[in-house]
Amino acid sequence: MSASVLQNVTHSCFALSYLCALLLELGRTFWPGKGWRVAGLAFGAAGLVAHSAFILFHQPTPAAPYGSLLLLAWVLALFYLYGTVHHAKQAWAVFVLPVVIGLVGLSLALATAPNASEFTVPEWAAGDRFWGIVHGLLILGASVGISVSFLASLMYLLQARRLRKKLAPGGAVPMLSLERIETMNRRALNVAFPLLTAGLLVGTLLLSQGHVTGDNWLSLKVLTTAALWVVFLVLLYLRYGGHVPARRLALLSIAAFAILLVALVAAHPFAEGGAK
C-alpha cells in the first residue's frame, strides 16, 4: 500500500465502515439470515483494515488523548472481529461497535490535525521519552482490559435483567451466558489491574523525576488515573473477598470505564484549561 493511498484514509472511512457493520448486525437481529452476518463482517473487517492503515501511517502517540483513544478503539475493533467470528450466534457487535465508534468519534473531537509521517521511529518513541511511551502503553493495555470489562458488565446487566424479568431466552439480542460473561469480565480485570498499577508506577516515577512537564500531582489526569486505580482495588477486593452481588460489581466496572474516559481525555489542552 503506497503512502499516497494511506494518506487518503480518514477517520470517516473506518468510522462509517464500523457503523455499517453495526447497522447490518442490528438488521440480523430482526431478520435472521446469513447475508447480514457476512456483509456485517465484511464491513467490520474493511473498517479494521482502514483503521490499521490510518494508525500505521499517522502513528498517533499513546501518550496523548487523541492517540490513546484511537489505539484503544483499534484494539476493541480487533476484539469485535474476534468475538463476531468466534461467537457467531451472539449479538457481539451490538455491544462492541458502539464503543468503538464512540471512541473514534471522541478521538476525532480531540484531534489536532495529525501529521502524516514517514515510516520511521516517531519522535515520541525516541530518547528520553521512552519511559513516557512505556507508561502510555501500559495505560493503554489497562484501558483495553477496562473497556472489555465495561462491555462484559453491560452484557451482564442486560442478561441479568432478562432473567430477573423471566423473559424468553435469546430474544432479539442473543447473548453469552452469565457465567461466560462473568469469566470474560474477571479475566479482563485480572489483566488490567497489573498493567494499570505498573503504568501508574512508571507515571509516578516520571512525575517525581520531573520528566513530565505541564502535568503536576494535582492535575486532572493524575487524579483520575489514581482514582481509577483505587476503584479497581475496591473492585478486586469486592470480587474476590466481599461476595458482593455480581450486578453491583458490573455497575462498579461501568463506573471504572467512565473514570478511564475522563483520565484518557484529561491530558488534552481543553481539559487542562489550555495549559498544555
Partner 1 sequence: MNLRAIGCNVESAAVELREKLAFDAAKTQRALAELTARFAAEAVVLGTCNRVEIYVSRQETVAALHVPMMAEFLSEIHGVPASAIAPHLYEHADASAAKHLFRVASGLDSVVLGETQIAGQVKDAFESAQKFGATGPLLNALFPNALRVSKRVRTETGIARGHVSVSSAAVDFVQQVFSSFADKTVLVIGAGKMGRLTLKHLAELKPAAVLVTNRNPERAASVAKECGGRVLPWDRLDDALAQADIVLSTTGAPEPIVSARRYAERVRPRRGGRPQVIFDMAVPRDFDPDIHDGDAVSVFNVDDLGRVAEARMAERRKHLPAAESLIESEVAKFVGDWNRRANGPVIGQLTSEVDKLRDGIMVPLLAKLNGKLSDAEKAQIEQAFRLFQNKLLHGPIAALHASSHEGQSGGLREALRKLFGLQG
Binding site for partner 1 (CB under 8 A): 32-34, 159-166, 168-170, 176-180, 243-247
Which of residues 165 and 210 has its CB atom nearest to partner 1 in the complex?
Answer: 165
CB atoms within 10 A of CB 83: 19
Q: How far is the CB of 151 from partner 1 (least distance, A)?
A: 17
Q: How far is the CB of 234 from partner 1 (least distance, A)?
A: 16
Compute the distance between CA of residue 276 and CA of residue 273 in angstroms, rounded to an integer.
Answer: 8
Which of residues 170 and 269 has its CB atom nearest to partner 1 in the complex?
Answer: 170
Q: How far is the CB of 114 from partner 1 (least distance, A)?
A: 42
Which of residues 217 and 240 has its CB atom nearest to partner 1 in the complex?
Answer: 240
Q: How far is the CB of 160 from partner 1 (least distance, A)?
A: 5
| Contact between 212 and 125 (Cβ < 8 Å) | no
CA-wise closest residue to 173 among 22, 42, 16: 22
Q: How far is the CB of 246 from partner 1 (least distance, A)?
A: 6
CA-wise closest residue to 174 among 92, 99, 247: 92
Phi, psi (rounded to 5 degrees) for 173: -120, 90
CB atoms within 10 A of CB 26: 17
Which of residues 2 and 34 has its CB atom nearest to partner 1 in the complex?
Answer: 34
Phi, psi (rounded to 5 degrees) for 205: -60, -45
Which of residues 180 and 276 has its CB atom nearest to partner 1 in the complex?
Answer: 180
Which of residues 8 and 177 has its CB atom nearest to partner 1 in the complex?
Answer: 177
Q: How far is the CB of 199 from partner 1 (least distance, A)?
A: 30
CA-wise closest residue to 128 among 210, 57, 218, 68: 210
What's the length of the chain?
A: 276
Q: How far is the CB of 165 from partner 1 (least distance, A)?
A: 7
| Contact between 93 and 44 (Cβ < 8 Å) | yes
Return the C-alpha cell found at 181: 460473561
Which of residues 34 and 120 has its CB atom nearest to partner 1 in the complex?
Answer: 34
Compute the distance between CA of residue 24 and CA of residue 26 in angstroms, rounded to an integer.
Answer: 5
